[in-house]
Every structure is written in structure tokens, then in C-alpha cells.
């Protein structure tokens, strides 16, 4: 039977007793052994009884499946990418989710089964979640944007009460350096783009470093990857899924991806989001200076992420457009255009 009655402190303490090292499972293709039979055996090992139904959900960094159970509602099971996180790091993600749920903030948290939220089987770490429905949020109305702002303000108010011990610190400057190294050392670029890419990417790195040094934003526990795809919207409002990238970072990182369009559109969107957000948490308007540098960072980081994961067969199948000469021409051009945007006056509300 599924059991959900476990306090987050107990879950964290129990999970902490598991190995604190990275997974011993080593593979060039990290999911090549994750067969349906293995997944069913993993589910059975924690006392659940699958009925054979399985549906792959949209996820690339991890593998996520909806799995049917006999005489119970289906569950969603996430198999973490082997070697990516320490067990302590994943446990801290789960504890944060449970802390938010305890504060009545609608986050989809892992289910505690036998007092444990993080399980291991055949070298894989995995967690079981309740199935939740919802749709991609449009955020077309000021009411929806204010509601989203209130939701994130409440989440950040909890996030600011303490810091993570094991989760990473959001550090775009370091991550840009790593992204550039991944692309240049991996021989991804056409010869005629190598110098141009290096010049533009390093210039972006300098601008990002300067922006963060000037603002010195306050840090707190954040979602870390709060784009609309990680928000499920229902008639009663939003709930957050996938805290896999939660980190210590600035509040603006959880807000900027929700606002898009022309300057006037973004101004209205930011005004509405902050109207809701500031009912529960303070927001330093100086962090608006970081929005366009963060957009440039994400462009660089995304390309490097695809390159790092290219040996995983799921990536060439899903991102067929990546890696060709036309892709790199467009990528370098868009980076250069974004560099110009960074130099434009900051959006004022």
C-alpha cells in the first residue's frame, strides 16, 4: 500500500543513512540497463504492486514514468540520472519539497514509503510521486500573473529561512566557463565559428560576472529552473513540479523566465508578478539588472547541456537539429544579439 504519512525531518534522517557517495553505477549510456523489467522490479522492491501499465513522460535529464498500480491510483516514478547527484543532495531536494508542502505551498513532493522518499535498486536512485494533472500556464491575465507571483513569494519566504547544506550554489559565472570548455574542447564548432564563438561567449561571461558583482544579490533556496514547463496550472492555480535543480541562488532566477515578449509586455508582466510576489517576500529591484545576463547564460548553458548529454540516445532522437553547422551559425548570431541586449537600458517598472 502507498503510505504518505511521514514528517520531512524523519524522511531526511532516514535518507541520510544511505550512501553519501555518488552512485557506483558506471556507464557511457546511463540508462541502457533501465528496462521495463528492471523498473517493475524496483517498484515491487518497495512493496508496490504494478499492473503492467507504463507511460514515459517528458523528461531527459532523468527518466520519468507514470506506472499503474493494482487497486490504487497510478504513480509517477523518477529514476535519477546515475552519477549526477549525491544521495545527500537528492535527500535535501526531497526535504525542501516536504517543507514547502507542510507550509501549504502546492509543490508535488515525493511520497514516503516505509518512512523513506529516496530508494535504490540496481544502481539507480528513484522516487515515487503522486500523479498530478494540469496544463502549461498561459499567464495571459494580470490575475494569473499575480497568482503566480504570490505562489513564488510564498515559496521564497520559506526558502529564505535557511540555506542548503548539500545542494549546489547557483553560479552562472563558473557555469559559463564550464559551458565554453565543453563546446570548445568537444570539437563541436565548425572551424569558421571557433574564434567568433569564443569571443562572444567570453564577452558574455565578463558581462555576467560584472552584473552579479555590481548587484551582489541576496541568495536563498530557489527552484532553480522555474520555466513554465515546470509549472502545472489548474482552475485552482499553480503547483510546482521537478525541484531537481533547486539550489542556493537569487530570487530573480525563479522569476525572469515567466516574463517574455516586447518591452511593454514584459513591463506589464513583471509589474503583475511582483504585485503578487511582494505580498509575501521582498524583491530587490536591482536584480532586474540580471535578467538579460541570465538569459545569455541560459543560452550558453543549454547548448553545453545538450553536448554533454549527446551520448544518451534520447538526446539525438529528441534534438535532431542540434550540432550541425546551421545550428552553430544561428547560436553564435543569437549570442551576439543577446550581448547587445545586455547593453540596453534595464527595464524599469
Report the candidate in 213, 211, 184, 219 with the shortest Cα–Cα distance to residue 200: 184
Strands 63-69 and 72-79, how do they pair? antiparallel
- Count CA atoms within 13 Å of residue 199 on its CB side: 7
71 in active site: no
Give the list of residues 6+ apart from residue 36 with CB closer than 8 angstroms, or none.
54
Q: Are 179 and 237 in contact (CB under 8 A)?
A: no
Find the catalytic residue in 242, 244, 245, 312: 242
Q: Are 251 and 280 in contact (CB under 8 A)?
A: no
Enumerate long-range contacts of 344-348, CB under 8 Å, 24 or more apart: 344/292, 346/288, 346/289, 346/291, 347/263, 347/266, 347/267, 347/270, 347/288, 347/291, 348/267
199 in active site: no
Find the catalytic residue in 88, 225, 245, 272: 225
Grid cell digits, residue 59: 523528461
Residue positions annotated with a catalytic role = 225, 242
Amino acid at each position: 500500500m502507498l503510505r504518505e504519512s511521514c514528517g520531512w525531518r524523519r524522511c531526511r534522517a532516514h535518507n541520510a543513512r544511505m550512501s553519501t557517495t555518488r552512485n557506483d553505477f558506471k556507464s557511457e549510456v546511463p540508462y541502457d540497463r533501465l528496462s521495463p523489467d528492471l523498473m517493475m522490479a524496483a517498484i515491487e522492491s518497495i512493496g508496490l504492486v504494478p499492473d503492467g501499465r507504463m507511460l514515459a513522460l517528458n523528461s531527459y535529464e532523468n527518466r520519468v514514468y507514470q506506472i499503474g498500480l493494482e487497486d490504487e491510483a497510478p504513480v509517477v516514478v523518477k529514476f535519477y540520472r546515475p552519477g549526477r547527484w549525491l544521495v545527500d543532495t537528492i535527500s535535501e531536494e526531497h526535504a525542501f519539497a516536504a517543507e514547502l508542502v507542510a507550509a501549504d505551498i502546492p509543490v508535488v513532493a515525493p511520497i514516503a514509503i516505509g518512512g523513506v522518499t529516496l530508494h535504490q535498486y540496481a544502481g539507480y536512485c528513484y522516487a515515487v510521486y503522486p500523479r498530478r494533472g494540469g496544463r502549461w500556464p498561459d499567464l495571459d491575465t494580470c490575475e494569473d500573473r499575480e497568482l503566480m507571483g504570490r505562489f513564488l513569494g510564498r515559496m521564497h519566504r520559506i526558502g529564505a529561512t535557511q540555506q542548503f547544506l548539500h545542494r549546489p550554489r547557483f553560479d552562472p559565472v563558473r557555469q559559463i566557463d564550464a559551458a565554453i570548455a565543453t563546446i570548445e574542447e568537444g570539437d563541436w564548432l565548425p572551424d569558421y565559428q571557433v574564434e567568433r564563438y569564443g569571443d562572444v561567449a567570453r564577452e558574455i561571461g565578463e558581462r555576467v560576472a560584472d552584473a552579479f558583482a555590481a548587484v551582489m544579490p541576496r541568495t536563498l533556496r530557489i527552484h532553480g529552473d522555474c520555466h513554465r514547463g515546470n509549472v502545472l496550472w489548474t482552475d485552482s492555480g499553480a503547483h510546482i513540479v521537478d525541484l531537481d535543480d533547486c539550489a542556493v541562488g537569487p530570487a530573480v532566477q525563479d522569476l525572469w523566465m515567466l516574463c517574455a515578449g516586447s518591452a511593454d509586455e514584459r513591463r506589464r508582466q513583471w509589474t503583475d508578478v511582483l504585485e503578487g510576489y511582494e505580498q509575501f517576500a521582498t524583491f530587490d529591484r536591482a536584480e532586474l539588472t540580471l535578467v538579460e545576463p541570465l538569459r545569455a547564460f541560459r543560452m550558453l548553458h543549454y547548448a553545453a547541456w545538450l553536448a554533454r548529454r549527446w551520448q544518451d540516445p534520447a538526446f539525438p532522437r529528441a534534438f535532431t537539429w542540434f550540432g550541425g553547422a546551421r545550428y552553430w551559425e544561428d547560436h553564435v548570431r543569437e549570442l551576439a544579439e543577446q550581448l547587445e541586449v545586455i547593453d540596453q537600458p534595464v527595464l524599469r517598472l
